[in-house]
Amino acid sequence: MATATPLTCDRCQAPLAEDAAYCDNCGERTRRARRMVRLAVRVELLFIALVILLVAGFTLVYTLQR
Ligand SMILES: [Zn+2]
Q: What is the 3 CA–ligand 1 centroid distance (Å)?
A: 22
Q: Which residues contact 20 (CB under 8 A, 6 or more apart)?
A: 7, 30, 32, 33
Q: What is the pLDDT of residue 5?
A: 67
Q: What is the 48 CA–ligand 1 centroid distance (Å)?
A: 34
Phi/psi of residue 41, nearest 5 degrees: -65, -40
CB atoms within 10 A of CB 9: 20
CB atoms within 10 A of CB 48: 10
- Determine the average pLDDT of the residues in 1-6: 62
Q: What is the pLDDT of residue 6?
A: 75
Q: What is the pLDDT of residue 2?
A: 57
What percent of the chain has a predicted confidence (pLDDT) above 70?
A: 92
Per-residue pLDDT of 14-64, as tens digits, reads 998 888 899 999 999 998 889 999 999 999 999 999 999 999 999 999 999
Q: Which residues, chain by chain, have CB under 5 Å from ion ligand 1? A: 9, 11-12, 14, 23, 25-26, 28
C-alpha torsion angle, residues 44, 45, 47, 48 (rounded to 10): 120
Q: What is the 57 CA–ligand 1 centroid distance (Å)?
A: 48
